[in-house]
Structure 1
């Protein structure tokens, strides 16, 4: 394992540098919009544009990689990402920002796909789980570090330049690597109708999980500012939420390995509703109270994507890539709508994120309880929970193939061709 990680050092080092810059820009863009006096609804549209670009990236980048290769695409995407970020810092115009954020979303989706495709291709099946864990820790730690850099007294111009510099520096380790590029990235392929038929809880859960986390990623700094936090405290606000999501992933996942995952999804949703109600009733401007509340909300909402993905794969003979692509797209659609919902309510109350989270999780809890009451599950294709982030379908393939059952994929798909349609969950 140490030898394997050493061989991937340049790739992981590039990812770490890039994601520090990415984490920094996630926070400074909405903060800069607030500084310019933009209304929350405009900032919400810009946040949704980012996730719309992310979806486009997942759908289009595989074809681009197939045409010109991983390293060229990686370099071009970082160039577009960096130039778009600098345009945001230079130009105070809504349409320019909308297009730039869409390009940033498209670029980061492609960057994730290239990195994860490389890791997947160069890792043996028995080591994929360990490499995935290392990559997840590095990526989340880097994004957290990026949030904390907001506290540096550099001004917005300095912070934009720092984020751009980190993004460009991320090219260097991969650009100098002598390792051969991996195989082309498989294109996203799925049917919403078929996936909804085999796992309604997973699709609904992925959507509402994306609604909550998308609202946080796009408008977390705006929510923090509305709750009277200083710019340095905004970075802590974002970081503790990410840490909460990271800390509870594994305990929640292990619990779902022992009982029906739908009970775990319901439990997370119910506790998230109670947390949101508590935040609204307390209505505290004390930073410590806000940090604790956001730590809990992150811990309760971030694991939903992995849980829904695992639950979907437990009871279907559809391919891992098809299920993973569908759950990812459903999560991304929720992420597009989340910023719009939160920004609309921010015009009326600083508790907007908690109201949206409480409403979304209430619907998810009710729907899951309904499915538990009337539909049993058998978990014919059960595999242990794998903690992962909602980045690309390459992350899905990498995370789940390390626990692949002994039955091959063609054999698995022939065992019960009608089973998925007959046992909706």
Structure 2
């Protein structure tokens, strides 16, 4: 009896693959969205077959990045330092444009492509031959790569679409006025501020090399006398001034020491590390809250307390990221929190919901503080409202309302909603 041949995929050993074949399929699939099953389907093999060539998805991404870099035309190293660094930035930019999503891959890749050490070694050797120190040469390459990748991520982020009264629009469309101002002074609008940032970096390198037309860096100032030990209040005041002027990220123990003409060692003995410094700053902010008199009615008590916190944070907006992002807090705020908890309980909010309700109020205050900085029409949120096609909404958005009045209205709406939703008894 003759066996009937089976219809379907042929049995036997599949055609030979290589790691580069798998990596090329991943590039064709798109590094931003690839998966092991999607690459296997593109190659016409079973999912498990890929594990003969890559360990997992991370290894697959690394193989794709390695192949893409090996096959890209990178600039030679035998040119002047400015030409080399410019060509490196331009080539990296073209590389990222050719492979959308590669910026994120480079930032999170679990290993290092084989091309990177070869390129870095050649470029660093050339930069040293051009007169840069080892540290300056390495820093220049690192900064240029970071600037180029972060700019690519930012530009693509502005293309993200969101729902608006006019339909789905990108952030660039919604915020088109500010986007126009951002790009009006650049040579290539598709690259944002990248070229301007690179020009500043190159001028700084030229200055360090003492090239004609530049000013050589001055001798660093002498190390401050370690006997200069400011007290805690002086340290906190200086830190808050830096934060108000330059933002929370600018506040470091060294920056405050330089501001006060002291040393980091002296400040650390008094204040501890940076987290200790920021907590001390938050203590000072909390101490400045004008705590209102107790209100018999829970709603009025909650509104008065929330507005008091808003007012003090509006003077020190740097405190918002310290609280909301860094997760730091001041013990001095506890009496205010106790009154907020008590007011929610007095409004018959279940105990299990009091903490969540308080967090909602706090998060609204954070947003209100950030939203009122710049007062009104210049803010991003105001521009979104004004982008609506409804004339009445646009007119309301343009009405002159003080930041505090707007904050109070928002606080009242949030608290009314919480009390209504969580079962407040009138």
TM-score range for the pair, normalised by the shorter chain length: under 0.3
Higher helix share: 1
Q: Which entry has the higher C-alpha Rg, 1 or 2?
A: 2
Which structure has more RCO (C-alpha within 8 Å, separation ≥ 6)? 1
**Could you state the TM-score of these two structures normalised by the residue count of structure 1?**
0.23
